[in-house]
Chains A and B, each alone.
Chain A
Amino acid sequence: MWWRSPSFILDRQQQQQNDSVPPNPESLFLSSPPPSMADSVQNPKSNISAYYQTRAAHHAVVTSDWLAQAEAAVGRHPDDDESSGIDGRAAATGEDGGGGGGGKAFGVIDEFNSWRKQPDLAEAVAAIFALAAVIRASQATTMMELEIELKKASDSLKSWDTTSISLTAGCDLFMRYVTRTSALEYEDFNSAKSRLIERAEKFGEISCKARRIIAMLSQDFIFDGCTILVHGFSRVVLELLKTAAQNKKLFRVFCTEGRPDRTGLRLSNELAKLDVPVKLLIDSAVAYTMDEVDMVFVGADGVVESGGIINMMGTYQIALVAHSMNKPVYVAAESYKFARLYPLDQKDMGPALRSIDFGVPIPSKVEVETSARDYTPPQYLTLLFTDLGVLTPSVVSDELIQLYL
């Protein structure tokens, strides 16, 4: 995928302002040692999506008490409890996968979790770094062995958190890359292995660049005086708004609150720091304000084969309102979020649940909808900004077919 990535747009930008170059993000990622992994292993509860828990931990402003509960739960479970418990099966296979090489205990999930702790690192990239670590630690002596080991590791990663689409997509993408790459034809196993590691790092590097590329590509769509509606907190959307603000674009942003973890508040804080005029809306005020809005920007947890997106709860209704008022809906998503999924409707995905804090006790007879995400069909999306370029929703399937078939 990345060999077609329009990263030239970054080079052009660097030529233009080579004096004020921001620090190269990938060097930071690649040089910094992984943080300590002692207390960081979160054992996700059976019905709580680890992915959304992480997001909340990274992006939520207010620590709600469910997070405190989650931390308490982590405290109750010691680290060695990981192999038992509800997802013990997954963890066990993970250890199998990691340690299959020579009996050395190497947890791909621990590795993944340690990478995941970095708030700027996407899950897919973390997964790829973790898989690269698996290659590095592997004691396999043939390519086939290494491949099987990697396969096990990625399977355990995937089953560790089935709700995270970008984790699955990242693993698949990397596996696809490893099995397809010409490195396999090398005679010498060690050189092939080092080549794979090199490729993994390059993959991570390019994935880190993706956000900058998307920010540059989307600049043309933001015009002076426009009003942008943003839902939830997305790092890509923040990046592109930041870039637009740095490019002296004059625009204003409406942020939804982003219940239940209030990620919108965080985004509005960040934007206020950039001196962008921001207005906060409660989630139910979207239709009320849609008249004033010129375009809608959302991120995506996953882009599915139909060209639709899976994103934080509420995206679908915003897209519907925007569609009915003929406002464009733009999605900013990195290409490693493209997943070979095809949901037909909302219930067609595995549930990703989260606990919701209503502030008051809810009677036990009252049922609470705790799903964390919804699916927006492609006909309500206008364009997708990805590091492959600006795509219409139907091109996603094209890219996926070329990648996976």
Chain B
Amino acid sequence: MDARRVTRAVPRVRQVGFFTPNAPPEQPGPVRSQSGPPNSSSPPLSGSPASNSLSPVMIPPPRHLSDNVGARTAAVPVPGRANAGDHATVGSYNPSDSVLGLESPPPTRIGDGEFSEETESSLGWYRRNNPAKFASSFPGGGFDLSPVKQPESVSGVEAKNQPPEESKVQKGQASSSKPSKPKTTKAERRALQESQRAAKVASKAEANKSGGGAASSKTAKQPSQKKDGPPVASSIATSERIGVDRPAEKERKKDVPPPRMQFDDESRVGKAKRRSVLNQPEARNRVELFRHLLPHINGTQLPYLESKFFELHDKHPAVYKVGLQYLTGDLSGGNARCIAMLQAFQEAIRDYSTPPEKTLIRDLTSKIGSFVSFLIECRPLSMSMGNAIRFLKSRIAKLPPTLSESEAKAALCSDIDRFINEKIVLADKVIVRHAATKIRDGDVLLTYGSSCVVEMILLYAHELGKQFRVVVVDSRPMLEGQKLLRRLVAKGLSCTYTHINAISYIMHEVTQVLLGASSILSNGTIYSRVGTASVAMVAYAYRVPVLICCEAYKFHERVQLDSICFNELGDPDAIAKVPGRVDVNYLDNLTDKQNENLTLLNLKYDATPSDYISMIVTDYGMIPPTSVPVIVREYRKEYLLI
């Protein structure tokens, strides 16, 4: 079932391109009728590599989306093709659909339950999104081809998740809708079927928790397959699919990196929980769009983790310490976190000894991997740390096997030292030199939050005797700017402190904006402390140049367009409560109990589009944001080889 869906998705996506109402049919009829679903083995595509090995675009979550879209786009050509002789085959395929979709909802549900069991991992996406919500979040996109049917299907889906007496009502609705609409179009039926399947998968997940459900789906397997269409055709089709697509599936798994952990994927979260050291916090009242992110782990888990110290004997104490520091937030700032992590690894490598009958290269890599996953549990890694880990692992992998253990360890330790020195410490010095040339007498520099490299630039320019003023812009709840402000004032710089609310007022007197970054993505997007994007946008509107100061090891080849798909959640209570202010307690009673109507969102990072950036100051010089991919391309190799 899964395989069929995959193959269907590929040609259909491609079909969108050359689909025109007047286009001559490319596929001869018989082939399509044989394979049941349109053109899973259509001549123009079966030979092409695209149909065998999936394109990397089609990693699981988007695949489902494109599948949905594909199902609908493929449904569109039917009227156009009808006069070209395809009508008969399509029609022969349709009735089974309609039987499944309208007349007998229960078998469909069971059949699809079986199907979901088969392909649990790849279709977990269904489960993650309540389909009703999915439908409502794409009101114009997903279901626009079945406008008439949409409300009913959504209501049906909602009804399924409710107690049985209501589902009877829903059945009544379905039966009442049947006579009123005896002949639905294929698109509508598909939409309904899809939504029912999705609902089934969702309810199946619910059922799995309570422990039932599996047996009934097993028993219903046979009838559901009969219903699926003419048995001969489908069996041929499935055998074909198995032959063609299983290797492709494997290839895809090899090519595509494993997707990031999605924390609304319940099955995987469950597995992760079993592995995990910490108590995963309950995901309560989270904003819908950000459910896939790791919920914030607050410091209350610290005693728990401390108590587990002696159970975690495989975690090196240095790594353990860094993990605790991440957890409590004592260690913040991209560079500080990265250096601490690397030094902890260095300690761990020093104390490492290869167990008998194992090789250092393999065992140490897995050891580092386990450390990293422990650290991720304490706090999600930043992309710069990902780069550093990648560097370390490549160094381990490239160790010549002839080296003795002590030599290898010494080599790795010096590599780590060199990375810290060259990529962070020296890089900062170079950035400071470059950026200081852009500071002129009489400038008013604005900075947001607390970036260590920006602080170094300001201090260096002050040492050079340049006359300038600093505006430190800050925001709740971190108030990092206050620390920066304290250090700057102590050094004798003249500063102004304000909150981000006043940004549009203060911007007109600013001549330059200096910002730090957590990482820079290859489309020039700046991924940085939340609020940076607003500062950059306001500066752009006031025609004030925005300089981003960032070391090149934080450049990442990923492309990201929004702050949603990858981000970090902060403590939601931090924005609901103001510490030390007893008069601001409006939310006190609301956050304590599980209030369904209140969701709190405390994001830690945001993405600034490259349009608002004038210049990136990096250790390779001052570059425009369009040149980030050049740096990534030119220096990634060297960077892994140093």
A interface list, Cβ under 8 A from B: 305-307, 340, 342, 344-345, 347-348, 378, 394, 397-398, 401-402, 404-405
The interface residues of chain A lying within 8 Å CB-to-CB of B438 are 344, 348
**Residues 598-640 of chain B: 1 if any A CB is under 8 Å from the residue's CB, otherwise 0?**
0000000000000000110000111110110011001000000
Q: For residue A397, which residue of chain B has the nearest CB?
A: B627
In the complex, A386 Cα to B630 Cα: how many Å? 20
Complex contact A344–B512 (CB within 8 A): yes
CB distance from B559 to the nearest CB of A (A): 16
Complex contact A401–B623 (CB within 8 A): yes
Complex contact B630–A401 (CB within 8 A): yes
In addition to A344-B438, A401-B621, A405-B634, 8 A-B residue pairs with Cβ atoms within 8 Å of each other are A306-B614, A342-B615, A344-B545, A344-B547, A397-B630, A398-B627, A401-B630, A402-B630
A340-B621, A342-B615, A344-B438 are contacts. A402–B626 as well, Cβ < 8 Å? no
Q: For residue B545, which residue of chain A has the nearest CB?
A: A344
The interface residues of chain A lying within 8 Å CB-to-CB of B624 are 305-307, 342, 378, 394, 397
**Residues 500-540 of chain B: 1 if any A CB is under 8 Å from the residue's CB, otherwise 0?**
00000000000010000000000000000000000000000
**Residues 547-586 of chain B: 1 if any A CB is under 8 Å from the residue's CB, otherwise 0?**
1000000000000000000000000000000000000000
Complex contact B620–A401 (CB within 8 A): yes
The interface residues of chain A lying within 8 Å CB-to-CB of B623 are 305, 342, 397, 401
Complex contact A394–B627 (CB within 8 A): yes
In the complex, A307 Cα to B623 Cα: how many Å? 10
The interface residues of chain B lying within 8 Å CB-to-CB of A402 are 630, 634
The interface residues of chain A lying within 8 Å CB-to-CB of B634 are 401-402, 405
In the complex, A278 Cα to B202 Cα: how many Å? 74
In the complex, A378 Cα to B620 Cα: how many Å? 21
B interface list, Cβ under 8 A from A: 438, 440, 512, 545, 547, 614-615, 620-624, 626-627, 630-631, 634
CB-contact partner of B621 in A348, A394, A398, A405, under 8 A: A405
Complex contact B512–A405 (CB within 8 A): no
The interface residues of chain B lying within 8 Å CB-to-CB of A307 are 624, 626
The interface residues of chain A lying within 8 Å CB-to-CB of B547 are 344
In the complex, A397 Cα to B615 Cα: how many Å? 12
Task: Show 12 A/B contacts (Cβ-Cβ < 8 Å), sorted by A.
Answer: A305-B621, A305-B622, A306-B614, A306-B615, A340-B621, A342-B624, A344-B614, A344-B615, A345-B545, A348-B438, A394-B624, A401-B621
In the complex, A398 Cα to B628 Cα: how many Å? 9
In the complex, A348 Cα to B438 Cα: how many Å? 8
A-B residue pairs, 10 tightest by C-beta: A394-B626, A397-B627, A344-B545, A342-B622, A398-B630, A306-B624, A401-B630, A397-B624, A397-B623, A405-B620
In the complex, A282 Cα to B498 Cα: how many Å? 49
In the complex, A378 Cα to B610 Cα: how many Å? 14
Q: For residue B627, which residue of chain A has the nearest CB?
A: A397
In the complex, A398 Cα to B632 Cα: how many Å? 11
CB distance from B58 to the nearest CB of A (A): 30
CB distance from A172 to the nearest CB of B (A): 13
Complex contact A401–B631 (CB within 8 A): yes
In the complex, A398 Cα to B630 Cα: how many Å? 6
In the complex, A253 Cα to B630 Cα: how many Å? 38
In the complex, A378 Cα to B623 Cα: how many Å? 13
The interface residues of chain B lying within 8 Å CB-to-CB of A342 are 615, 622-624
In the complex, A345 Cα to B544 Cα: how many Å? 9
In the complex, A347 Cα to B438 Cα: how many Å? 11
In the complex, A345 Cα to B438 Cα: how many Å? 11
In the complex, A405 Cα to B630 Cα: how many Å? 11
Complex contact A397–B626 (CB within 8 A): yes
In the complex, A398 Cα to B629 Cα: how many Å? 9
The interface residues of chain B lying within 8 Å CB-to-CB of A348 are 438, 440
Q: For residue A308, which residue of chain B has the nearest CB?
A: B624
In the complex, A378 Cα to B626 Cα: how many Å? 11
Q: For residue B629, which residue of chain A has the nearest CB?
A: A398
The interface residues of chain B lying within 8 Å CB-to-CB of A340 are 621
CB distance from B7 to the nearest CB of A (A): 39
In the complex, A305 Cα to B547 Cα: how many Å? 15
CB distance from A264 to the nearest CB of B (A): 30
In the complex, A397 Cα to B621 Cα: how many Å? 11
CB distance from B469 to the nearest CB of A (A): 17
In the complex, A378 Cα to B630 Cα: how many Å? 18
Q: For residue A402, which residue of chain B has the nearest CB?
A: B634
In the complex, A397 Cα to B622 Cα: how many Å? 10
Q: For residue B624, which residue of chain A has the nearest CB?
A: A306
In the complex, A405 Cα to B624 Cα: how many Å? 15
The interface residues of chain B lying within 8 Å CB-to-CB of A394 are 624, 626-627
The interface residues of chain A lying within 8 Å CB-to-CB of B626 are 307, 394, 397
Q: For residue A399, which residue of chain B has the nearest CB?
A: B630
CB distance from B308 to the nearest CB of A (A): 48
Most buried by A among B512, B615, B621: B621
CB distance from B161 to the nearest CB of A (A): 51
The interface residues of chain A lying within 8 Å CB-to-CB of B545 are 344-345
CB distance from B99 to the nearest CB of A (A): 57
CB distance from B490 to the nearest CB of A (A): 29
The interface residues of chain A lying within 8 Å CB-to-CB of B615 are 306, 342, 344
In the complex, A347 Cα to B624 Cα: how many Å? 19
In the complex, A160 Cα to B627 Cα: how many Å? 32
In the complex, A348 Cα to B631 Cα: how many Å? 25
CB distance from B544 to the nearest CB of A (A): 9
Q: For residue B617, which residue of chain A has the nearest CB?
A: A342
In the complex, A100 Cα to B545 Cα: how many Å? 44
In the complex, A304 Cα to B624 Cα: how many Å? 11
In the complex, A405 Cα to B615 Cα: how many Å? 18
Complex contact A401–B627 (CB within 8 A): yes
The interface residues of chain A lying within 8 Å CB-to-CB of B621 are 305, 340, 401, 404-405
The interface residues of chain B lying within 8 Å CB-to-CB of A347 are 440
